[in-house]
């Protein structure tokens, strides 16, 4: 099972995110989130955790998207990634490890292949001049998900500190973080063009 964290408001993307969910920003006529969904193998089950502008996501992708089954969970009173994944674990009670990513970040097919074969708990890290950067792209044990409500920083429940405490293994990759909220737009455009051609994506 795959889990996408898409409940946030995207404040770093304002004013655009005041009327459009950040994961629905189009690249070559297709929402950013579509590229990550298509990187996931066909016949996979995906849960998208939503809140802010959730109807935009549901109305576009619906209950299935090009062979991927999609379910939705509305994160009540959102308080961070740890809270979102805790709510997910309480609702779906997964019996096997889940692969998780954040909706404003691109995940690529070869990286999904890597995470699918490693032992949890593990996460993708990108090399940077400042050291390794967590990509928010993880494979997590079900029992770890239930502990994520313990990482409160005074404002929100953050998943990463708890995952690190639980011994999160670093899987280092050469590319930079492709997050739409940061300064990697040129690289994102290149990857979107590549994936659109790879998956023969038609613009709506």
Contact 39, 108 (CB under 8 A): yes
pLDDT class of 172 with cuts at 50, 70, 90: very high
**Interval 74-101: pLDDT, tens:** 998 889 999 999 999 999 999 999 999 9
Helix (H, G, I), strand (E, B) or coil at 105: strand
Q: Where are the domains of the chain?
A: 2-199
How confident is the model at residue 175, as a pLDDT? 87
pLDDT class of 32 with cuts at 50, 70, 90: very high
DSSP assignments along 88-99, one per residue: HHHHH--SS-EE
- When computed from its CA atoms, the radius of gyration of the chain, rounded to whole angstroms, is 16
How confident is the model at residue 203, as a pLDDT? 65
Pairing of strands 98-102, 131-140: antiparallel
Residue 84 to residue 8: CA distance in whole angstroms: 10
How confident is the model at residue 153, as a pLDDT? 85
Structure tokens at 112: 């999904």
DSSP assignments along the chain, one per residue: -EEEEE----GGGTTGGGTS-GGG-EETTEEHHHHHHHHSPTT-EEEEEE-TTHHHHHHHHTTEETTEEEEEEE-SS---HHHHHHHHHHHH--SS-EEEEETTB---HHHHHHHHHSPSSEEEEEEETTEEEEEEEEEE-HHHHTTGGG-B-SS-B-HHHHHHHTTPEEEEESSPP-BTTTT-HHHHHHHHHHHHHHHTPPP-
For 2-199, CATH number out of 3.40.50.12780, 3.40.50.10420, 1.10.10.410, 3.90.550.10 equals 3.90.550.10
**Interval 127-142: pLDDT, tens:** 877 778 999 999 999 9
pTM assigned to the model: 0.94
């Amino acid at each position: 099972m795959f889990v996408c964290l898409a409940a946030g408001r995207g404040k770093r993307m304002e004013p655009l995110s005041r009327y459009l969910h950040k994961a629905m920003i189009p690249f070559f006529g297709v929402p950013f989130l579509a590229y990550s969904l298509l990187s996931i193998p066909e016949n996979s089950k995906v849960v998208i955790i939503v809140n802010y502008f959730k109807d935009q996501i549901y109305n576009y992708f619906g209950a299935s998207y090009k062979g991927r089954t999609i379910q939705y969970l509305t994160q009540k009173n959102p308080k961070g990634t740890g809270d979102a994944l805790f709510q997910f674990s309480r609702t779906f009670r997964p019996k096997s490890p889940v692969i998780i990513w954040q909706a404003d970040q691109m995940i690529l097919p070869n990286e999904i292949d890597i995470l699918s074969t490693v032992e949890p708990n593990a996460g993708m890290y990108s090399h940077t001049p400042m050291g390794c950067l967590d990509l928010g792209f993880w494979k997590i044990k079900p029992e770890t998900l239930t502990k994520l409500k313990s990482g409160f920083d005074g404002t929100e429940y953050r998943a990463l500190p708890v995952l690190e405490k639980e011994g999160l293994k670093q899987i280092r990759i050469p590319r930079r973080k492709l997050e739409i909220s940061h300064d990697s737009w040129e690289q994102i455009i290149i990857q979107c063009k590549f994936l659109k051609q790879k998956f023969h994506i038609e613009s709506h």
